[in-house]
A and B are shown apart, each in its own frame.
Chain A
Amino acid sequence: EAGVAQSPRYKIIEKRQSVAFWCNPISGHATLYWYQQILGQGPKLLIQFQNNGVVDDSQLPKDRFSAERLKGVDSTLKIQPAKLEDSAVYLCASSRGTSGRQETQYFGPGTRLLVL
């Protein structure tokens, strides 16, 4: 079974530029998550999709961040415009079902973003 795929793996941009990250979850997994992990901290949930609907985006800075999962499979996370404090690793994860209790999440390799 193929794991969660993410691209690009690394990205360097200047502040105020825009950037987009792509994620393809494990086949058949209904729920997809985007996390931001700043160095020395745990992953922080940005947005959670269940199929193609948003379950939780309470911590997504909506003035600059957007995400979509149009066909309920792969997803794109965009930052526009980027700020210095957006420098972090952006992790995509997926889980199989849609039960109320949290299921095991499987993480992709992440995209390391550096904003100069």
Chain B
Amino acid sequence: QKEVEQNSGPLSVPEGAIASLNCTYSDRVSQSFFWYRQYSGKSPELIMSIYSNGDKEDGRFTAQLNKASQYVSLLIRDSQPSDSATYLCAVGGFQKLVFGTGTRLLVSP
């Protein structure tokens, strides 16, 4: 079992729709959770961080964390073509951050 699992996609959604990206992790003692966006040929950039169970909203983005189910998700409302990228889930334990392989999102006009 991989430490951090994501569906590689691509996830295709029309412009204006909600995109839902999911991530599961294996280490029960994980404490910190991050979503990074990576455009092709670019480096990852942070979108959201979440540390407690529940939802965290920032503009069009909502991160959801369920530690009991070892599951974290990212919702993107009103998806735009500029949101087309690979979304990396990263899970942190003590001193170590592990990245998933990423989900490729395609938003069509």
A→B interface (CB under 8 Å) = 33, 40-45, 48, 55-56, 89, 91, 100-110
Contacts and interface: CB of A to CB of B under 8 A. Distances in A.
B34 A43 contact: no
Nearest to B104: A40
B27 to A, nearest CB: 12
A3 to B, nearest CB: 10
A110 B32 contact: no
A100 B94 contact: yes
Given A101-B32, A101-B92, A104-B49, A42 B99 contact: yes
Nearest to A98: B95
A52 B95 CA distance: 15
Contacts of A42: 4, 88, 90, 99-102
Contacts of B93: 102
Please provide the 8 A-B residue pairs with the shortest distance between their CB atoms, ordered closest to farther: A102-B92, A42-B99, A107-B43, A102-B32, A42-B101, A101-B31, A102-B97, A43-B99
B96 A101 contact: no
Contacts of B44: 43, 91, 107
B55 interface: no
Contacts of B17: none
Contact of B97 (A41, A45, A100, A110): A45
